[in-house]
A = this chain, B = another copy of it.
Amino acid sequence: MKFCSDCGSSVSQQIPKGDNRLRFVCNDCETIHYQNPRIIAGCVVEHDNKVLLCKRAIEPRKGYWTLPAGFMENGETVEESAVRETWEEALAKVSNPELYSMFNLPHISQVYIFYRGSLLAGEYGAGEETLESRLFSESDIPWNELAFPTIHKALKHFFSDTQNDHFPVRIEDINFSKK
């Protein structure tokens, strides 16, 4: 951030009065511009003991497999966001979505939130950001071609929890800056 989005003047990093963190503050109108983490919402969609994955048509990680997921938008609930992304990326509808996992990625200020649900009518396809979608059983998951660590973790949890038919909300931190 270099300029104030309110008045167009230059900003500088300062610790505002009563605060303890550096913020971008306008040198002219003194507006404080807070920056906060973003939520990425998606779904683990199951059908016949298989999970729906999408091959990414866009960077980052083009050509790698992902669970349908994307940035939560203003005006949505987390569940609405997860279900919308599943439709946009995999042309799939989710029945009975339930909160399933929350992954913190503090080094990039992201929180991944996955819902778990069933594939409605067994129908899916490829949205604009997807090369192809496919249902994978555990033994067929392309573990070395997954797009992100969060996808790997969500799938590992899912197949493990499937064995016990018990799906507690899974929370994990993935912090590469500490490794």
Chain B residue nearest to A9 (CB atoms) is B8
Q: How many identical chains are in the complex?
A: 2
Interface size class of A (residues with CB under 8 A): 35 or more
**A1: interface (CB < 8 Å):** yes
27 contacts between A and B (CB under 8 A): A1-B5, A1-B6, A2-B5, A2-B6, A2-B7, A2-B8, A3-B4, A3-B7, A4-B5, A5-B33, A8-B8, A18-B128, A21-B73, A34-B71, A36-B38, A36-B72, A37-B72, A37-B73, A37-B74, A37-B76, A74-B109, A75-B106, A76-B104, A76-B106, A77-B173, A78-B102, A79-B171
Residues of A at the B interface (CB closer than 8 Å) are 1-11, 18, 21, 33-39, 71-80, 99, 102, 104, 106-107, 109, 111, 128, 169, 171, 173
